[in-house]
Amino acid sequence: MTQFKAWINAARLRTLPLSVSGILVGATLASYFGHSSPLIFWLAILTTIGFQITSNFANDYGDGVKGTDNENRIGPKRALQSGLLTQGSLKKGILISIIIDLLLILALLYFSFGIKEIVWGLLFLLLGVLSIWAAVRYTVGKNAYGYQGLGDVFVFLFFGLLSVIGSMFLFVKTIFWISFLPAITVGLLSVGVLNLNNLRDHASDEDSGKITMIVKIGFKKGKFYHFTILILAFISWSAFILVTATEWKHGISLLAFVPIFIHMVTVWYNKSPAMLDPELKKVALSTFALALLFYFSYYNFL
């Protein structure tokens, strides 16, 4: 495998659709409330992709160094684990990725807030730096929060609330409280993807000392936790549609929950963690489909 393909492998492109879902929902909410900007939209998309790639590099490095990615791991082989990249190369990749993230953040904030709204710009710069910190510290370092059962909380906050509400604020410069409903949904679905990963890897995680929510509560209870997450996501999204829908097309996005409910049946009858690996993609792509359907049904293209 060439070095280019090795870096593509470490970037984990299949994770990117989920990462941009929050931005799509946030931008759609902004348009619904009368604000839009193609430049801000695309800079926000590029920034969140940058965060995700940084997180993937750091996750590959952190789990590889700690020995969590080993021969007992069920999922796809990682770059460091399989020897495609060295520790030194990944460190440099993480650093370069962080620099790119910072440049994207500065560009996004300049075009969103400019100089006149410097206070908001500084606040969002702090949030951007915190996002980078969260991306790296998930698995890197002695006190990595992903090893202390806190991954679910951080994913909910950064993939859900900050991604949706934060991106909406870049356009509208205010918060509409009804927007927390779709933000909660995106956050919960993102936690659902992480939980599936943890259900799949619970045995190897426990053996390597990685404490996840599933390691804490066990595989069986982890299933009920998973169902609770997805049902609450559906309720939150349905509540938003019920309150805001004025046309039949506004309900189209609910179709994205059909494959999610089918997925829940699959998980219910599952007895082999290894068979859960394909389910990650289903939930991630269903979340992306939800965001796309929401975009095309609610976005004001006029």
pLDDT in tens, the chain (302 residues): 577 787 888 888 888 999 999 999 999 999 999 999 999 999 999 999 999 999 998 888 877 776 665 565 565 666 676 677 788 888 899 999 999 999 999 999 999 999 889 999 999 999 999 999 999 988 887 788 888 888 999 999 999 999 999 999 999 999 999 999 999 999 999 999 999 999 988 888 887 778 889 989 998 899 999 999 999 999 999 999 999 998 999 999 999 999 999 999 999 998 888 888 889 999 999 999 999 999 999 988 76
Q: Long-range contacts made by residues 242-246, C-beta under 8 angstroms, separation at least 24?
A: 243/178, 243/181, 244/32, 244/178
**Phi first, then psi: what are they for 78, rounded to 5°?**
-90, 165
| Residue 274, C-beta contacts closer than 8 angstroms, at least 6 positions apart | 74, 200
| Closest among 117, 130, 128, 140 to 59, alpha carbons compared | 140
Q: What is the pLDDT of residue 100?
A: 97
Q: What is the pLDDT of residue 207?
A: 79
Q: What is the pLDDT of residue 124?
A: 95
Instruction: Please tell me the distance from the alpha carbon of residue 135 to that of residue 57, in angstroms, as a whole number.
Output: 9
260: left (phi over 0), alpha (psi -120 to 50) or beta: alpha
Our count of domains for the chain comes to 1
∠ CA 161-164-167, nearest 5°, is 120
Quote the domain boundaries for residue 24: 3-298
Give CA separation, 101 vs 21, 50, 97, 227, in Å.
Answer: 18, 6, 6, 34
The residues pairing with 211 across neighbouring beta strands, listed in sequence order, are 148
